[in-house]
Structure 1
Amino acid sequence: MVPPSVERRSERARRAILDAALELCQDQSFAGLTMEGIAKRAGVGKQTIYRWWPSKAAILLEALQERGGATLIFPDTGDIVADLRTQMTQVVRAFNDPMFAAYSRGLISAAQSDPEIAAAVVESIIRPRVDLCVDRLAKAQQAGDIHPDANLPDVVELLYAPLYYRLLLHTRPTTEAQVDAVLTMVFQGLRP
């Protein structure tokens, strides 16, 4: 019998660690999350975790990046509203995924008092998505679908701030209907 490859064993351990961190963050607060708890839930030694990640925030960031892959897709069908609807719907689905609680209850909350976590969240989760959205909006602006004077980073904030508002303040659920309402309100004002 051939022994399991070290690479596969490492991938299994990595996956177990990422899943354990998300599960534990769903069950408790980010502050209550510990490397020891993650190691125990994942069935690995703490040294395995520290070999790959410097902190619990780094583990959650990687887990969320993998889980949120669909939120990095900005289609370009030529219809900016339809394309944003597709992408923003993926964001809503991620926000409604119970495992995504690690992001809303964990990292965003911790980022309010920890500048290092805040910078990591912005650099690894927020900025790549903002840049992709600005690129797609720029194409629409060049095609004449968006007012030529519109500040595109501000447009991104107009589009996504309402989703985050509901996510963080729990005023109402984030829904696909909310996406449609936001797009209608924003694009009535953006059309040339």
Structure 2
Amino acid sequence: MHHGNRHGRSEAAREAVLQAADDLVAEIGYARVTIEGIAGRAGVAKQTIYRWWRSKTDILVDAFVADAVQELTLPDTGSFGTDLRAHLEELVRFLEVSDAGAVFRALVGQAQHDPGLALRLRSEILPLLRARDRVPFERAVTRGELPADADIDLLVDRAVGPIHYRVLVTGAPVTAALLDA
């Protein structure tokens, strides 16, 4: 008999909870999602959820981290321009279209009046996204396409900042022209 949430049935239950939380946020919005609703969708007992997580926010942070690692693939095209373009297109799809993007938008909104979540967003979620956003630039430095002393964090801000701003603030579409620029 295996114990812990890494094996067999409990791992499957954990996956089902994360998936249910994702689906529900995308379908009905963060405010209307409840632990009961997640339990019902996942086919697990509410008690099971409370054994692993304290709140729906905790579930959604875990769901987002799992999704971001899975979905934000980083193709190596051999050149900085095409690497960056591919990554930015992927980021737009992720933020605008995927269930994980709906979760991210909900968490960013919720973080404005939830200091605990704001802390987790800044300590767990944003560094994960930042690490992925840095990859095309780090590869370019390695290949000699960017100078060794390039300020990668500033370059990342300039590349992804306009995308986050449109997705999270203005709601304007992210166009091919914006990505080209």
Contact 1:74 1:84 (8 Å CA) reproduced: no
Contact 1:74 1:133 (8 Å CA) reproduced: no
Paired position in structure 2 for 1:29: 29
User: Cα 1:55–1:172, aligned 2, differ >3 Å: closer, same or farther?
Assistant: same
Query: CA shift at 1:18, angstroms?
Result: 1.4
Paired position in structure 1 for 2:9: 9
**Count of residues in Structure 1 that have an aligned counterpart in Structure 2:** 174
Matches within 5 A, 1:1-192: 7-68=7-68, 69-71=70-72, 73-99=73-99, 100-104=101-105, 106-141=106-141, 143-146=143-146, 150-175=150-175, 177-178=176-177, 181-182=178-179, 184-185=180-181
Over residues 26-69 of structure 1, what are the superposed CA-to-partner deviations in whole Å (9 max), with x where a residue is unaligned?
Answer: 23332332222212222221111122222212211222223232
User: Cα 1:139–1:23, aligned 2, differ >3 Å: closer, same or farther?
Assistant: closer
Query: CA shift at 1:98, angstroms?
Result: 4.8
Contact 1:53 1:59 (8 Å CA) reproduced: yes
Structure 2: gaps (5+ residues): none
Contact 1:111 1:117 (8 Å CA) reproduced: yes
Q: Distance in 2 between matches of 1:146 and 1:156?
A: 13
> Structure 2: which amino acid aligns with 1:127?
P
Over residues 72-120 of structure 1, what are the superposed CA-to-partner deviations in whole Å (9 max), with x where a residue is unaligned?
Answer: x33444411111122222212212335231221x101011122221222
Contact 1:95 1:174 (8 Å CA) reproduced: no
Structure 1: gaps (5+ residues): 1-5, 186-192
Percent of residue pairs bearing the same amino acid type: 36
Q: TM-score, normalised by structure 2?
A: 0.80
SS of alignment partner, residue 31 of structure 1:
helix
Query: CA shift at 1:143, angstroms?
Result: 4.3
What is the Cα-based RMSD across aligned positions, in Å? 2.5
Over residues 137-192 of structure 1, what are the superposed CA-to-partner deviations in whole Å (9 max), with x where a residue is unaligned?
Answer: 244235442356642111111111111122113532235x15xx33x43xxxxxxx
Q: Distance in 2 between matches of 1:22 and 1:138?
A: 31
Which protein has the larger Cα radius of gyration, Structure 1 or Structure 2? 1
SS of alignment partner, residue 13 of structure 1:
helix
SS of alignment partner, residue 174 of structure 1:
coil
Q: Distance in 2 between matches of 1:33 and 1:130?
A: 28
